[in-house]
Each structure stands twice: as C-alpha cells, then as structure tokens.
Amino acid sequence: MSPVLAGVLQLLALFVALALVYRPLGDYMAAVYSSTKHLRVEKWIYRCIGANPTAEMRWPAYLRGVLAFSAVGLLLLYLLQRAQGVLPKGLSLGFHAISPDQAFNTAASFVANTNWQSYSGEQAMGHAVQTLGLAVQNFVSAAVGIAVAIALVRGFARSRTGNLGNFWADLVRGTVRILIPIAVIGALVLVACGAIQNFAGIHEIGQLTGGTQQVNGGAVASQEVIKELGTNGGGYFNANSAHPFENPNGLSNLFEPFLILVIPFALTRTFGKLVGNVRQGYAILATMGLIWLGFTALMMWTEFHHGGPALQAAGGAMEGKEQRFGVGGSSIFAVATTLTSTGAVDSFHSSYTGFGGGITLLGMMLGEIAPGGVGSGLYGMLVMAIIAVFIAGLMVGRTPEYLGKKIGTREIKLAACYILITPTLVLGFTALSMALAGPPDSILNTAANSVRDSGAHGFSEVLYAFTSGANNNGSAFAGLNANTPWYNTTIGLAMLLGRFLPMVFVLALAGSLAEQRPVPETAGTLRTHKPLFAGLLVGVILIITGLTYFPALALGPMAEGLS
C-alpha cells in the first residue's frame, strides 16, 4: 500500500469513528448540563467546597467562580513544584524543586489548559507532580472550558434573565459525568495498545549501540488519555506522543486524534440541543469540519510533495517524523493538535516543510476553533458566528440577529474585544522578543540566547511559541530554548491572559444575550442553519485571520517555503 493511500484511509477511519459517536455523545452532554439532579458523589464534592449547586449566577458571579477556582489551582500547582525537592524519593524520584520562573510557567500552562512545557518531563517531574498536580489540572481546566461554553449557549437559549447557570455545578458535572468516564475507558484502550501505567522508579536499560540509558515508569496511560481528551497537550516524556510509552503503535496514533476531536465536535450537537434547533449545531459542525478536512488535506499534500531526491527516496518529508506513523499519520495528528488547543505532538513541527510549519501556525492563529479546544472551540466559533452575522447585516442593511437575539453595539464590541486579544498578545510578545538585544549574557538578549536557527525559520520559532502560548495550544518548534527567565515569564503571562481575558468577554456576552427578549423570525431573517451561512462563516474566519497575521506569516513560514 502506498503511503498516500495509507494516509487517506487513516483519515477516512477517523472521520467514520467521529461520525458514529457524534450524536450519542452530543445528546448525552446536553442531558448532563440540563439535568436538575445531582449524583451522590457530586453532592459530597459540593459539601467539601461549600458550594450551592442550585443557585443561579449572573455573568459576574460566574466569572468570579472561574477566576477564583483557577487562581487556587495556579497557586497549589506552583507550590507543589517548588516543594518537590523535599518529597519522599518514591514521589519525587529524587528530582530537585522546579525553579521559580519555570514553576510559574508550568503552573500557568496547565491551569490555562495549554500544557506548554519548557522542561523534559522524565528528567524534571516526579510521580507526585505528574499525577497529583498536572493530571488533575488536565481534568479541571478542561471542565472549566466546557462550563464557559455552556454558559454562552445558555445566553442564546434563555431570555429576559441574566442567569447563566451555576459554575460549580457545571465544573463538577463536566469532570464527573463526562471527562472521568471517557478517560477511564480511553486509558484501558491505551494500555491495551501498549502504553505503560505504573508507579515504577528509574531503570537503567542497555542500548543497542552500547552503554545504558535511564528510563522512568509512571501513570502514563491515564495522563495521556486526559491530555488528549481535554485538549490539554504536554506529555509525560519529553518526546511527547512520539514516545512509545505514550503512543505505542499506529492504532494508538489514530485513537489519540480521535480523543482530541471527539468532544469539541460533539459539543456542536450539544449546542443545537440546548438552543432547541439541532440544525444550528449542524451548521457550526459543517464549518468546523470543512476547515479541519481542508487543513488536513493541505498538510498531507505539502508533506507528501516530492521536492527532491531525499524526499522521493523517503516517500515524503520524513525529517522529524516517526517511521511507525509515517507522513499520513503525522499530518493527521499535527492538524488535529493545532486546530484544537491540544499541543500534543507525534512529530517535530519544526522539521516540517516551510509550508507545513505554516499550516500548523495558521491552525492556531484561526483561534483553534475547527473544532478547537473542549469548550473554547465552541465559544470561539460562536463569537465568529456573531461577527459573520454582523457583516451580513451590514451588507443587506438590516439589524443583525443570531438565534433570535439582536446583535447590537454591546454584543459586537464584546465580540471584537474577544478576537483582538490573542493577536495583540502574540504579535506584541513576538516583537519584544525579537527586538530586545542586551549584552550576550543578558536575559533580555532573547533572540541570541534562545533562537538556534537564523533567518525566517528562527523568526518562526519565536512566532510559533507565542502563538501556541496565547492560543493555549502548547506545542512548539523544537529549535527554541524557551527555558529562560524571559520566555518562562512572558509565555506564562501570554497563556494566562490568552485563556482568561477571552472568557471575560464571552461571559459578558452571554449575560447580555440572556437579558434580551427573543426576536421573532421573519422573511428577512438570515438563515444561519443553511450552507450559505456556513460558507460565509468560513470566509470571515479566514479573512480576519489573514488580515491579522499575514505580515508575520510572510516574514516566517512563507518566506522559508518560497526560498
């Protein structure tokens, strides 16, 4: 079988698997967030945290819950890393405490659902930090994203009230009823595929070329499944999902993108059920699916393109890719992880062709909305839908409406603020990092100290780092040494601001929509469930992203690809 045909068949298998679970999972999540009953374990959790799950919250109270919970998680994870050096060896594996700037970066990363790592997991983190700190945040940070998305959906579904539900109930239900059950099943599948799951220490093993190598054990399968399912990213080992303990074979390499994509796609069905019109969910699904399939096809074409004798001999651009997975499997994984806020990698994006690396960058720059992260992809796409409806209203000269709600001055300002935050962070921090040039040994000499490649590729490494951080993705171009005080601090700030500032505007938007009276549909109402609107939405997404990022992309991956 040719490598191209193998890649196409893998993509087809993934598409069929996602289609089979789309409706039952979407309906189940809609039932979870519309239920008035509380499980016994959930009641116990509410008593422990002192929360009243039946109290309705307006958007400021809902936001305070999001920020307070995340701030506590940030502090606890930071302290756990700083205390690692005094933990028993069975918990720390003998590793020292994490430095202050790296501990801040890592805590910000996992609380922000980013999982950017400026450290090598098997050489820095013991079982306590990996399992009690990082894995726990993988669950709850994902649940926070889903909760915010559900709050926005309630803003469309409700009228003449500012209430958006209860954050604590949404957080606990998302964790207990959705993420944990699927993660348990997924972990068993990964263990069956060959992923490890233990609490073993460090072993010395022999190498084929002589000498020995130290290899860690760990609860890898359980962390691997939630890092993909919660679109977190990161990895137990430095090689991430290219490591055979995390991603043993071709089956697991197809199962992991399935985990990445399944909840974000199924949430469109949940959206349709909760607003009482499943066709609206299908329109959002079609938009996400069209972009995802287009990006995957383009990535495969770019990486399979035989541009020289070396590529012809290898059957494609194999540099930085696993022989176990090939170009097709690596391309599917790369697009899935950069079109969602995941960041897990089974190959090194820095080694992709110039245009291939540009595709991964563009996927993040879209706002990671096709289908995006768990929760964040849905609310990001709904904000884009509001922008598209507004533009359509300007073209026909009538007040824009979406799902029976008028899109007025307040709503469009909030949507505009949402789409401006991430580009400001990405381009601002990239410009600072490239412009600062202190003495050679100064932490302010950022480019000279960290960028190992010159020219367009070196610029792409810095641009990719802040695009990944601000969009809460977590993947990286391998040539950038980000473990410096400058990058640990600035990328940490980009991750926190890129995660929580958009949530402020999303929840404010949800509150504004929930207070409105529903507008009756007329002959002049834009049919937002039709293919025409889906096409308009795709065009708006690409145009907004292109106008914002084209100059930066022209200096980096486009210049490299054309050279």
Per the model's pLDDT, the better-predicted residue between 485 and 388 turns out to be 388
Query: What is the percent of the chain with per-residue pLDDT over 90, rounded to a whole number?
Result: 65
- pLDDT of residue 310 exceeding 60, the answer is no
pLDDT of residue 37: 93
pLDDT tens digits for 90-109? 888 889 999 999 999 999 99
Per the model's pLDDT, the better-predicted residue between 463 and 458 turns out to be 463
Identify the band that residue 447 occupies on the pLDDT scale cut at 50, 70 and 90: low
For residue 176 the two structure tokens come to 């207990």
The answer to whether the beta carbons of residues 20 and 261 sit under 8 Å apart is no
Lowest-confidence pick of 157-161, 388-392, 520-524: 520-524
Query: What is the percent of the chain with per-residue pLDDT over 70, rounded to a whole number?
Result: 95
pLDDT of residue 323: 80
Calculate the alpha carbon distances from 92 to 41, 76, 120, 192, 203 in Å.
Answer: 30, 16, 15, 27, 15
pLDDT of residue 434: 83
Q: Are strands 212-216 and 401-402 parallel, antiparallel or unpaired?
A: unpaired
The answer to whether the beta carbons of residues 400 and 407 sit under 8 Å apart is yes
- pLDDT of residue 351 exceeding 90, the answer is no
pLDDT of residue 399: 79
The residues near 213 (Cβ < 8 Å, ≥ 6 apart) are 204, 205, 206, 207
* Residue owning tokens 């949430």: 267
Identify the band that residue 159 occupies on the pLDDT scale cut at 50, 70 and 90: very high
Gap between the Cα atoms of 272 and 280, Å rounded: 6
pLDDT of residue 2: 81
Identify the band that residue 86 occupies on the pLDDT scale cut at 50, 70 and 90: very high
- pLDDT of residue 308 exceeding 70, the answer is no
Helix (H) or strand (E) holding 296: helix 278-304
The answer to whether the beta carbons of residues 507 and 63 sit under 8 Å apart is yes
The answer to whether the beta carbons of residues 507 and 383 sit under 8 Å apart is no
The answer to whether the beta carbons of residues 127 and 219 sit under 8 Å apart is yes
For residue 518 the two structure tokens come to 């529903």
Mean pLDDT across 157-170: 95
Choose the most confident range, by mean pLDDT, from 174-178, 314-318, 453-457, 462-466.
Answer: 174-178
Gap between the Cα atoms of 505 and 102, Å rounded: 29
- pLDDT of residue 256 exceeding 80, the answer is yes
Bridge partners, residue 205, by sequence: 213
Mean pLDDT across 537-547: 90
3-state SS of 493-556? Answer: HHHHHHHHHHHHHHHHHHHHHHCCCCCCCCCCCCCCCCHHHHHHHHHHHHHHHHHHHHHHHHHC
pLDDT of residue 499: 97
pLDDT of residue 154: 97
- pLDDT of residue 437 exceeding 70, the answer is no
pLDDT of residue 307: 61
According to DSSP, residue 401 is labeled E
Alpha helices in 83-166 (DSSP H): 89-92, 100-111, 121-124, 127, 136-157
CB neighbourhood size of 428 (10 A): 14
Q: Are strands 212-216 and 405-406 parallel, antiparallel or unpaired?
A: unpaired
pLDDT of residue 315: 61
Residues in the chain: 563
Residue 95, sorted as left (phi over 0), alpha (psi -120 to 50) or beta, turns out to be beta
pLDDT of residue 411: 95
Concatenated DSSP letters of 312-370: HHHTS--TTB-TTTHHHHHHHHHHHHHTTT----SB-GGGS-HHHHHHHHHHHHTTSTT
For residue 217 the two structure tokens come to 């054990």
pLDDT of residue 546: 81
- pLDDT of residue 418 exceeding 90, the answer is yes
pLDDT of residue 191: 96
Q: For the chain, what percentages of helix, strand and coil (3-state, to nearest 5) are there?
A: 65, 5, 30
Q: What is the pTM of this model?
A: 0.94
Q: Which of 226, 25, 101 is nearest to 490 (CA)?
A: 101
pLDDT of residue 440: 57
Per the model's pLDDT, the better-predicted residue between 210 and 46 turns out to be 46
What is the chain's mean pLDDT, rounded?
Answer: 90
The residues near 246 (Cβ < 8 Å, ≥ 6 apart) are 195, 220, 224, 235, 236, 237, 239, 240
pLDDT of residue 484: 84
Identify the band that residue 562 occupies on the pLDDT scale cut at 50, 70 and 90: confident
pLDDT of residue 145: 97
pLDDT of residue 324: 85
pLDDT of residue 443: 64
Identify the band that residue 113 occupies on the pLDDT scale cut at 50, 70 and 90: very high
pLDDT of residue 398: 77
